[in-house]
Each structure stands twice: as C-alpha cells, then as structure tokens.
Amino acid sequence: MNENIYKELKKFEEVKAYMEQGNHSLGVLGFTEHSCRHAVKVAETAGKILKKLGYGKREVELAKVAGLLHDVGNCINRSDHAHSGALMAMHILQKYKLSPRDTAVIISAIGQHDEGTGSAVDPVSAAVILADKTDVRRNRVRNPIRENFDKHDRVNYAAISSALSIHMDKKIIQLNIELDEEICSIMDYFEIFMQRMLMCKRASEMLGMKFKLMANGNKIC
C-alpha cells in the first residue's frame, strides 16, 4: 500500500472542497466545528492509537485515511452522513488504485463512525471512533452567544483541556478531560455524551483494551 496517500489527500482540492462545504453547512445549522482541522486531528490520533498498540504501517495508514475522510458526507447532509461519506470516499480513492480490501476497510470505518448507526468492527474503525468521539475542545464551538448554547456547545465549551492516553501496562485507553463545572457539570457531560462514551468503550474492547473516562481527576467510567 502507498504510505503517502494520507499526505496526498490532505492537499487534494476535491477533499478540501467537500470538507469546507460540509463544515459551512453545519455552521449554518448550528453545529460545532467539523473542519479540516477536526479531520486531521482525528486522522492523526487514529494513526497514533494503532501505532502505539503495535499495528503495522498498513493499518496505521488506513486509519489515517479513514479519519481524514470520515466527515466528507456532511457536505451532502448531516443526516446519514457516515453512509454517504463512505460512498464519497470510495469515489475519491479510485485514483489511488488501492486494493479492494484496503478500500473496503476505509469505507467501512467511515460508515461505522456515527454513534447513531455504527459500531467498531475492526481495528481501523475502532481507532477512528476513539479519535472522533474524544475530540472535545472549546474552540469547536462556533455559537458566539452562550445563552443559546445547545447541549453539545455547552459540553465542548466547558472542556478546558482534553487528552487521550494509552497505558499499555494496564491495557487502558483513557480520556482525561478538565471541565469548567460552572458551564457543564461532570454528570451532565456523561449524560450528554453517554452514547459516545459507550461507543468508545466498545471500540477499546475491539482493540483488546478497556476505556476509562477521567473528568477533573474523577473516574466517571
């Protein structure tokens, strides 16, 4: 497999156009940031997860490509964006002449990343899910009026810092988050993002690990 596909895709104008349009549309609809910045963060984190766990260069590259392209479907519609994004990615990847197996792994990971319809089915999809669902940060909030925050705005804006760490000795993947509890309590965070955290738990199990959430130094799950 060509190990430079991820680097090439980051510069591909077609990919940039799809992601920028999707991010614009979501902004108009009041969603948090889903820009190229988010896509690159998910890609890099997914790759790091698999590399840390000892997977080979092929799996790492597939995870990075899937992470980069996971939200391209937003340019069509937020509803069912994981499935439309998988079909778009299949079209985008044709020029790179990947093996059918590699293409299948990538589009499967994209199609499985949404908590409403998906689940980890292999290491690549698990890494993408973990990277996507743990990207919680204040600068993803685009609503300038705090009084009008929805639940996702409130959680992201309350996140002063967040970091995903892997503890090989204990076989734990851990999200450490520092929350401003005047904006969002720890219990509110867990309630709002419970489905995402359960998805992370199952993704970690797919990788032979356990998932832990630590908020303000307290173990939540």
Q: How far apart are CA 144 and CA 152, in angstroms?
A: 14
Where the chain has pLDDT below 70, the residues are: 1-2
Report DSSP state, residue 215. Answer: E
pLDDT in tens, 90-128: 999 999 989 999 999 999 999 999 999 999 999 999 999
Q: What contacts 24+ positions apart, CB below 8 Å, involve 141-150?
A: 141/32, 141/33, 142/27, 142/31, 142/32, 142/33, 143/30, 150/30
Res 174: pLDDT = 96
Res 83: pLDDT = 97
Token pair, residue 135, equals 């990207």
Res 187: pLDDT = 81
Res 55: pLDDT = 97
**What is the DSSP pairing of strand 172-179 with strand 210-215?**
parallel
